[in-house]
Amino acid sequence: MFRFFENLVDPYCDYPEQDTPPRRVVPFLRAYAKPFNAVLVLTFVAKVLVAVMELLLIWYLSRIVDLLAGSTPERIWPEHGMELLLVGLFILLLRPVIAVLDVALLHNTILPNFGNLIRWRAHRQVLRQSVGWFENDFAGRIANRIMQTPPAAGEAVFQLFDAMAFALTTLIGSVALLSGFDPWLALPLTVWIVGYLALLRWTVLRMGPAAKASSDARSAVTGRIVDSYTNIHSVKMFAHHDGELAYAKDAIEHTRQTFMSEMRIITKMDLTLTALNGALIVAVTGLALWLWSTGATTTGAVAAATALVLRLSNMTYWIMWATTNLFQNLGVVAEGMETIAQPITLTDDTEAKPLILSKGAVTIETLSHHYGRGAGGLDKISLTIRPGEKIGLVGRSGAGKSTLVKLLLRFYDPEGGRILIDGQDITKVTQDSLRLAIGMVQQDSALLHRSVRDNILYGRPDATEEDMIAAAKQAQAHDFILDLADQQGRTGYDAHVGERGVKLSGGQRQRITLARVILKDAPILLLDEATSALDSEVEAAIQDTLYGMMEGKTVIAIAHRLSTIAQMDRILVLDGGHIAEEGNHADLLAKNGLYAGFWARQSGGFLATETAE
C-alpha cells in the first residue's frame, strides 16, 4: 500500500525548463505542482469527506441524546438497534478507509515527493546559471535556499489541504448544522466567523513579511558561518577567531530580533483568539439552553451545539497555527525564490547547434568586455589563432588575461565583438558542446569532495580504469595516489580528498587536475598558471607532460612564470585590455618593450604584478 501512494507522482519526471521562472509565490508553486494536480484534487475531496464525517458524528450525537430522552432501555434496542449497528459499522469500516486515503495522500504522496521535486528542479535551475551569477553570491546562502525552500513549500501545500480544506468544510458545515437545529443558533457562529476571519487577515498580513524577514536573516547567518568554515585556514592563520564570532553574532542577533517580531504577532493573535472562542462558547451554549427552556429546540440539539462549539474552539487554535505556519512557509518560499526564480541570463540560442570542431582555429574579432563597469577587462582586441598554434598570454594583473579565457569558455557573453571557433560564433553553439571541446587547467586546482577516481573521471566519465590510471601516471600522480588513505579507511583511487581537495597538498591537487584534463583530451587547451602549485622538481617532470598534452592542440597559456611559455609559437602581451606586443620569445626580447622588462625583472621566473585583476 505504501509503495502505491509513494509512487503516484515521480518527482524526477520530465518538464519544460524555464529561463524566466514565475517571480510570484502562487504562480511559482502552481508551476511546480503540475505533476500533483490530480493528487491534490483527490486530497481535497478526501479532506472534505473527513470533515463532513466529523460533523455527521456531532449531528448523530444530538440524535442519540434525543433517542435516549424519548425512549426507555427496554425499547431502545428493539426499535433502533439496526440503525445503531449500521452507524457502528460505518464508524468502524468506512470512516477508516476515507481517513487512510486522506492521510496516505498527504503523508505518503505529497510530503515525500513535493519538496523533493522542488529541490531537484531548483538545483537543476541553479546549475544552469552562469559562473558570473555564482560569483555574485555566497555558495552557503544559495545552498541554504535550495535546502530550506522545498520543505517549506511541501509544508505549505500540506497545511493548505490538511488545515484549510478541513477548516473551510467544518465552518460551512457547522453553520448548516446549527441552522438545522434552529436558525438563531447560527447567528453567534456567523458573527464569530467574521471576527475570526478578521483576526486571521490581521495575522497573515503581518506574518508573511515577518516570516520572510526571519528567513532572510537565517540565510545570512548560514552564509556567514559557511564563509568562515570554507576559509578556515585563513581564520586560523590570521588568528581571527574572535572577529569571526563577532561577525556571526551580529547576524545571529539580527535573526533573534526578527524571530521575536514573529512571536509578538503570534502572542497577540493567541490572546485575541482565546477571547473570541470564549464568547462563542458562551453565546451558542447560552442561546441553546434558552431555546431549550422555551421548547424551541431539543436536548440533543443543546448537546450537539455545545459539543460543536467546544470542538470549534479547540480546532481554531490549530487552524490559526496552521495558517500562521502556512504563511511562514510561504515567506520562506518567497525568500528562496530570490535565488531559485532568478532568470537565466546566459542561455543557448534558440537555434544553437553542437560545435563542430574540424581544425581548432580561434578567431577573436574586436572583443570587448568590462563586466558592466565601462573599464577594465578587454577593449576591442582582435586575434587569430591558427589550428594547433601555441599562444602564451602575459601581462600585469588586471590586463585582461583571465577575462579572455572566461569569454572563450563562454562563462560570460562579450559586451562587444565575438569569438569564432572554426568559423562558428560560440554564442550560436550549445554551451556544453563548446566546453567539451576545451580542456582547462586552472591556477586554483580545487577538487570535488569525492574520491580521487571520481575527480579524474570528471574529465571523461566513460573512460576505462586503464585510461584513468594512464592519465594519472602521465600527470606524475599515480604513485602518491596509491599512498592516500582517508578517515573512513578508503585508500588509493577510492580515497576522498576533502572539500575542495584540502586533504592534499597544492601540488597533489594540481597533478590530479592535470590528470583530469589529460583524460578529457580536448582539442583546445587552456592553461592558467598550470604549474604554479608545483615545486621545481615536479614542475620539470610535468613540463614534459604539458608539452605532450599540447601536441596537435590549439593552446592558450597564461603564465607569470615566463619560463613556462618561452617555447610557445607566439606570445601576446596584454596591457590595459589591449594587445600591446606580439611575437615569439626572442622577437619580444629584441623589441626591448614590456615583455623584455618583465623578463629582466623576474626573480625565479615570476612576473611582477602591480594591480589586482
User: Do residues 327 and 455 share a domain?
Assistant: no
User: Do residues 127 and 263 share a domain?
Assistant: yes
Range of the domain at 465: 447-521
Average pLDDT, integer, range 518-537: 79
Residue pair 405/377 in contact by the 8 Å Cβ criterion? no
Residue 376 included in any domain: no
Question: 327: domain CATH number?
Answer: 1.20.1560.10
- Higher-confidence position of 114 and 397: 114
- Higher-confidence position of 11 and 163: 11
Reported as type and span, the H/E element at residue 99 is helix 95-104
Whether the per-residue pLDDT at 367 is higher than 90: the answer is yes
Residue 435 included in any domain: no
Residues 6+ apart with CB under 8 A from 127: none
With cut-offs at 50, 70 and 90, classify the pLDDT of residue 611: very low
How many domains are there within the chain? 2
17 Ramachandran zone, left/alpha/beta (phi>0; psi -120 to 50) = beta
- Domain limit, last residue, from 487, 521, 555: 521
- Domain limit, last residue, from 280, 308, 340: 340
pLDDT score recorded for residue 263: 87
Whether the per-residue pLDDT at 610 is higher than 60: the answer is no
pLDDT score recorded for residue 612: 35
Question: pTM for this one?
Answer: 0.76
User: Do residues 195 and 48 share a domain?
Assistant: yes
Mean confidence (pLDDT) of the chain: 86
Residue 558 included in any domain: no
Any idea which of 279-283, 399-403, 443-447, 521-525 has the lowest mean pLDDT?
Answer: 443-447
* Cα–Cα distance measured from residue 378 to residue 368, given in angstroms and rounded to the nearest whole number: 5
pLDDT score recorded for residue 308: 86
Average pLDDT, integer, range 96-101: 92
Residue 326 included in any domain: yes
Residue 247 included in any domain: yes
As a residue count, the chain comes to 613
* Cα–Cα distance measured from residue 397 to residue 389, given in angstroms and rounded to the nearest whole number: 24
224-255 burial, b at 16+ Cβ within 10 Å, e below that, comes to bbbbbebeeeebeeeeeeeebeeebeebbebb
SS3 content of the chain, % helix, strand, coil (to 5): 65, 10, 25
pLDDT tens string 116-157: 999 999 999 999 898 888 888 877 778 888 888 888 888 888
pLDDT tens string 186-221: 889 889 889 988 988 888 788 778 877 887 888 788
239 Ramachandran zone, left/alpha/beta (phi>0; psi -120 to 50) = left
Query: How large a percentage of the chain has pLDDT more than 90?
Result: 32
Residue 453 included in any domain: yes
pLDDT tens string 297-340: 888 888 888 888 888 888 887 877 777 778 778 878 888 888 88
Whether the per-residue pLDDT at 575 is higher than 70: the answer is yes
With cut-offs at 50, 70 and 90, classify the pLDDT of residue 531: low
Return the residue matching grid coordinates 528562496: 336
pLDDT score recorded for residue 603: 47
- Higher-confidence position of 72 and 99: 99
Q: Nearest to residue 361, comparing CAs of 421, 412, 316, 413?
A: 421
**CA separation, residue 534 to residues 443, 453, 496, 538, 539 (Å):** 11, 21, 21, 6, 5
Residue 140 included in any domain: yes
User: Do residues 308 and 170 share a domain?
Assistant: yes
Question: 497: domain CATH number?
Answer: 3.40.50.300
pLDDT tens string 11-50: 999 988 888 888 888 888 888 889 999 999 999 999 889 8
* Cα–Cα distance measured from residue 259 to residue 207, given in angstroms and rounded to the nearest whole number: 11
- Domain limit, last residue, from 477, 506, 521: 521
Residue 471 included in any domain: yes
366 Ramachandran zone, left/alpha/beta (phi>0; psi -120 to 50) = left
User: Do residues 93 and 213 share a domain?
Assistant: yes
With cut-offs at 50, 70 and 90, classify the pLDDT of residue 538: low
Average pLDDT, integer, range 173-193: 87
